Amino acid sequence: MTKQCAMLFSGGLDSSFAACKMLEQGYDIELLHFDQGALISNNLSLIRLKELSEAYPKAKINIHNLNTSGLFRKVALTTLESDILKYKISLVCLGCKLAMHIQSIIFCKNNGITVIADGATKRQNRYSEQREIAIEYIKKLYNEYGIEYLNPVYFFEKKEIKYGLFDRGITIQPLEDTCIFSNTFTVASDIVIEQYINEKYNLCKKLIERGLEYEKNR
């Protein structure tokens, strides 16, 4: 029986190696590539898709470009000023990732997918969305919708990921889009991350339910 999973996919090294790990566990993969309205797109993720398809010719690998600009605005931008005043730090990238997870849950539910993977890594825990406290909350959110959220490369070092790709015949250049918010923030504490997600949690569920209701009524 074919196993299927979704994958949050930037085309970068970490999400690409996470895709390899899931493919090697026998999954066919639906790659979810996001445009939140603040990207300088290079379309290089399509090159990574070609590389993965050639490395795993028996697997079915599809890519979906999902627009999360409206969700990103709702979760992170409409309250940006008040959030910065409250938390004394910008958590806009965490809000952006929450929007991606909202759209991913809607995608999975609409397509009968019960497993999703992410390329988050512990070595990049300066990014709030890759911190363990954030990942635990994200797991909880997915679990509420019957979806298992996996982080197959979380404890891998960069060298392991880089040469793991190279060993599989995949180029080791990052192929993700450029975000205009890159390197525009300082590192948040676990306490602040937890408070932010707690505040946004019910909104995330509300937006998920809205998306699912829309699809049900089509």
Please determine, for residue 83, whether its predicted confidence score (pLDDT) is greater than 90.
yes
8 Å CB contact between 32 and 9:
yes
pLDDT digit string, tens, across residues 134-150: 999 999 999 999 999 99
Q: Using pLDDT thresholds of 50, 70 and 90, give the confidence band for residue 28.
A: very high
Report the C-alpha gap between 176 and 156 in whole angstroms.
19
* pLDDT for 147: 98
Mean of the pLDDT values across residues 23-35?
Answer: 97
* pLDDT for 78: 96
- Residues paired with 29 in a beta bridge: 5, 61
- Domain assignments of the chain as residue spans, ordered by start: 3-216
Please determine, for residue 95, whether its predicted confidence score (pLDDT) is greater than 80.
yes
* pLDDT for 156: 97
CB atoms within 10 A of CB 202: 9
* pLDDT for 216: 64
CATH 3.40.50.620 at 3-216, yes or no: yes
* pLDDT for 44: 83
The predicted model scores a pTM of 0.95
pLDDT digit string, tens, across residues 55-81: 999 999 999 999 999 999 999 999 999
Q: What are phi and psi of 27, to 5 degrees?
A: -85, 140
